[in-house]
Amino acid sequence: MRIVVRIGGSVIASPPNPGLIRKYAELISDLRSRGHEVAVVVGGGRLAREFIGWAHELGLSEQEQDELAISVSRLFAQMLAMRIGGYGWRTVPVTIEEAARMLNERGVVIMGGIKPGMTTDTVAALIASEVKAEIIVKATDQDGVYTKDPRKYPDAKKIDELSFEELDEMLAENRHRAGIHQIIDPEAARILREKRIKTVVVNGFKPENILLAINGAAVGTIIR
């Protein structure tokens, strides 16, 4: 099966968590040895946002701020890739085409961001669509998609299953409330809906959730 795993910077990089990165490296090698092909997209987390803040203070443009955040995400991708494949895996692909080629060659590719003005969710949706992945698992810092932001509302409820159309309605409602954390970038959601790629949002602090999601277990929030 072709799988895309999107690992939130909030999970492995805020603060950087070598113990967890090691577990992800083991998980990805394990998936590969079971015959799966895996594209991994990692975000830059807190450090990326710090760079954005520093760049902003320096008067750099949004495009420049994004480039710095992308570099940070690539640094985490490089670290994870080297842990799995050694020095030979130090090169992180910088385009979707390059990533697809690497996936075809070695069955695993680890990447960060690709261009300003998007998020790593969209990168994950683009690579999934390019390589015709069966599933995207988004490893995040929450147990799934909630009715409201669970960090602000204690009565927020986790949703077990959602259609892409329902997700779209939720994102449209949230768009009008500034500052609400989007569990999935709306641009990514649009691509996934169009291509009907099953998406599972799980708690990434337990990497075994990725395996459960791939095996079709009821974990996190399943969107299809």
> In the bound complex, what is the minimum distance in angstroms from residue 46's beta carbon to ligand UTP?
8
> In the bound complex, what is the minimum distance in angstroms from residue 220's beta carbon to ligand UTP?
14
Range 119-138, binding ligand UTP (CB under 6 A):
119-121, 123
- Contact flag: residue 70 with ligand UTP (CB under 6 A): yes
Contact criterion met (CB below 8 Å) for 71 and 38: no
> In the bound complex, what is the minimum distance in angstroms from residue 126's beta carbon to ligand UTP?
9
Q: Which residue is nearest to ligand UTP (CB)?
A: 43
User: Among 115, 148, 158, 190, which residue sits at the site for ligand UTP (rule: CB under 6 A)?
Assistant: 115
Contact criterion met (CB below 8 Å) for 132 and 193: no
> In the bound complex, what is the minimum distance in angstroms from residue 178's beta carbon to ligand UTP?
15
Q: What is the DSSP string of 16-29?
A: B-HHHHHHHHHHHH
User: Among 45, 93, 150, 207, which residue sits at the site for ligand UTP (rule: CB under 6 A)?
Assistant: 45
Residue 61 φ/ψ region, left for φ over 0, alpha for ψ in the -120 to 50 degree band, beta for the rest: beta
User: Among 25, 43, 136, 205, which residue sits at the site for ligand UTP (rule: CB under 6 A)?
Assistant: 43
Backbone angles phi, psi at 39, to 5 degrees: -105, 125
Span near ligand UTP by CB under 6 A; candidates 27-35, 108-116, 159-167, 206-214: 108-116
Backbone angles phi, psi at 185, to 5 degrees: -60, 130
Strands (E), the chain: 2-7, 37-42, 108-111, 135-140, 145-146, 158-159, 161-162, 198-203, 221-223
Span near ligand UTP by CB under 6 A; candidates 22-30, 40-48, 84-92, 212-220: 40-48
Structure tokens at 88: 């030979």
Q: How many residues bind ligand UTP (CB under 6 A)?
A: 21
- Contact flag: residue 21 with ligand UTP (CB under 6 A): no
